[in-house]
Amino acid sequence: MNLQTVPVIPPEVHGFTVKVGVGTYPPGAERSHRRAMYAELRPSSDRTRERLRRMGRERILGMVPLQSDAVRDILAHRDGQLAEMAATDALREASKLARQVNQ
């Protein structure tokens, strides 16, 4: 997945590194015209990596599907209010599972 980063999110959450950006929707559908804001969380410690592996995952992916107008606005204003809101929503979704992994 080719993500374009949005600089409004912390670099780490609940023991995971965070990468946020706009990508195709659904994930991996490279020919899709639809887009979503994604928050990709990857484990930053061996402990977290092992717990996630036991769940059968390499990463946690939170997503917020976007309408075409929103995609244009976010790509034009990467640190704008809409980009921040969508990134925060995507991170919130991913963060729920990340919190459970580390309990």
pTM across the whole model: 0.86
- Asked if residue 22 belongs to a domain, the reply is yes
Give yes or no for residue 5 having a pLDDT over 60. no
- Asked if residue 89 belongs to a domain, the reply is yes
Count of structural domains within the chain: 1
pLDDT band with cut points at 50, 70 and 90 for residue 103: confident
- Asked if residue 37 belongs to a domain, the reply is yes
Q: Is 31 helix (H, G, I), strand (E, B) or coil?
A: coil
**Structural domain for 43, as ranges:** 4-97
Angle between helices 68-76 and 81-101 (to 10 degrees): 100
Residue 72 tokens read as 């244009």
Residue 62 backbone dihedrals phi, psi, to 5 degrees: -100, 145
- Asked if residue 103 belongs to a domain, the reply is no
- Asked if residue 9 belongs to a domain, the reply is yes
- Asked if residue 102 belongs to a domain, the reply is no
Q: How far is CA 96 from the centre of its chain?
A: 12
- Going 76 to 37 to 90 to 97, the CA torsion angle's sign is negative
For residues 94 and 103, give the distance between their C-alpha atoms in angstroms, rounded to a whole number. Answer: 15
Q: What is the pLDDT of residues 51-67, one digit of tens each?
A: 999 999 999 999 999 99
